[in-house]
Structure 1
């Protein structure tokens, strides 16, 4: 089974999607399941995981409705307010949706680099396991130290790092990023998505080999059983079409046997999200 572990849907709204600035005209429009179908087919992908792009329960409902209508959407990573005092009530309410596989908070936009260590956030994270939910860590490299502390506190909670923590892909490996990625990889409950890389490189002018030194570190840190492919479509369109994103990993993985390629391209996501 081949699975795209990370993509988004939205009906473009200039207020809700204010993060899409004037340099991102190409994604200032609707991106719906019917738009993704031919891309998955061309890439020989069997399904996908839809991930939240807006921090609201309406967004979670929006994705769950699509998952109900389109069988190829195998799971949803939604949003609930993990800092809310009524998080338990919200989790109970959403436990009736079998395709809700995990939650995510857009921590990269928080001013506090240690937002994830807030007592109320930690309380929310502590409840996810009771409902079989994973947690996607979306951060910048400067927030990696907090991520390390977070996963250290919850050794039984499944975590996955999105977009390899968004390092600046410019040919010069940041030593701090490498150090913390290596450290994060020592925790067996933490996975990593080989996703979102093309938008951290020079848009449209990168070459596949530009990503290999970063992927080397990720593979050394997390190993073949805890890495999964994600396209980050349609955000990836800022820098590359879907098939070009897919080809980066396809070319990198030729050094591994077919069994490893199968894990990275789908089986790891299937196991992590219980798809």
Structure 2
């Protein structure tokens, strides 16, 4: 493993006492209704051998992004990048990005995400205003993260074709259904998206998809297909903590993911667990310089 440690390229922080999280109203998420803060992250990440992380938005508010940037700047280098939120349908996406970059910790803004999976329209990403916003995100040099349902994958593929210079990252592999019929459709749609060279995919959020009593072997077809169509150097590891606590502890997610990657060579496994994320999110020396942080070997 890279001596700088694993990169957890997908996690969150939140405090339900300070902010409302509409998605938490879903049944079964009651254990998440408590604060998960920077000190909790530092304890869990250090114990699991994680050297740096990417903090990802949880609500459609730029105020949260500003808070995340400040928290990242105060994390001592642990939170090395932030994926925030701007209104992709707004008329001033470039200005919104510039304002966030000017905020404390703004040099750590490396991406933007909208929770598209909560949009009823499977073609939300095809909207002209959304496409215009996505183009502005790409022009700003930011990663565009795609949190989509399987039925929204064709629209994501259309967006990737329209913006061939953009860097797109598919979150949680679009949460593949594990039943044979649903998995077959997911395979076809993910394969189409993977043919677009600028698209990466996160190996994250998978353990919470398992049915009660289902073992990790049910995820092997998913991971093997991702490796087949994206290759290890276009896959990025993330814990999805603290959502992942519904399926196990932070360290458990790291160990179980490493086990799912057992067939890879050491270099390939290192790419999934750290190298690809360092490249995609600009971590390491160049990223540290841009953020005004101490430079470390990556």
- TM-score, structure 1 as length reference: 0.95
State the partner residue of 2:165. Answer: 156
Cα displacement (A) at 1:261: 1.1
Greater Cα shift, 246-255 or 177-186:
246-255
* Mapping for residues 255-266 of structure 1, pairs under 5 Å: 255-266=263-274
Greater Cα shift, 151-160 or 249-258:
249-258
Cα displacement (A) at 1:257: 1.4
Distance 2:129 2:72 in 1: 30
State the partner residue of 1:8. Answer: 12
Cα displacement (A) at 1:254: 2.1
Residue aligned with 2:262, SS: helix
Q: Alpha-carbon deviations, 1:76-116, whole Å to 9, x = none?
A: 00001111112222122223311000000000000111111
State the partner residue of 1:65. Answer: 70
User: Mind listing any 5+ residue stretches in structure 1 that lack a counterpart?
Assistant: none
* Mapping for residues 139-154 of structure 1, pairs under 5 Å: 139-154=148-163
User: Mind listing any 5+ residue stretches in structure 2 that lack a counterpart?
Assistant: 284-298
Conservation of the 8 A alpha-carbon contact between 1:95 and 1:131: no
State the partner residue of 1:128. Answer: 137
Distance 2:73 2:183 in 1: 42
Q: Does the alignment pair 1:272 with 2:280? A: yes
Cα displacement (A) at 1:119: 0.7
State the partner residue of 2:52. Answer: 47
Cα displacement (A) at 1:18: 2.9
Residues 160/191 of structure 1: CA separation in 2 closer, same or farther (3 Å cut): same
Match of 1:209 among 193, 214, 217: 217
State the partner residue of 1:78. Answer: 84
Distance 2:229 2:85 in 1: 28
Q: Alpha-carbon deviations, 1:32-80, whole Å to 9, x = none?
A: 1100112111211101000000110111011101011102000000001
State the partner residue of 1:247. Answer: 255
Cα displacement (A) at 1:170: 4.4
Q: Alpha-carbon deviations, 1:178-198, whole Å to 9, x = none?
A: 001111111110000000111
Conservation of the 8 A alpha-carbon contact between 2:93 and 2:137: no
Distance 2:218 2:249 in 1: 17
Conservation of the 8 A alpha-carbon contact between 1:102 and 1:136: yes
Residues 133/248 of structure 1: CA separation in 2 closer, same or farther (3 Å cut): same
- TM-score, structure 2 as length reference: 0.88
Match of 1:33 among 38, 41, 54: 38
Match of 1:168 among 173, 177, 192: 177
Conservation of the 8 A alpha-carbon contact between 2:66 and 2:100: no
Distance 2:255 2:99 in 1: 40
Cα displacement (A) at 1:244: 2.1
Runs of 4+ in 1 over 6 A off after TM superposition: none
Cα displacement (A) at 1:151: 0.5
CA-atom RMSD in angstroms: 1.5
Distance 2:210 2:181 in 1: 11
Q: How many residues align?
A: 274
Cα displacement (A) at 1:8: 0.2
Residue aligned with 1:240, SS: coil
State the partner residue of 2:99. Answer: 93
Conservation of the 8 A alpha-carbon contact between 2:207 and 2:216: no
Residue aligned with 1:255, SS: coil
Distance 1:175 1:221 in 2: 14
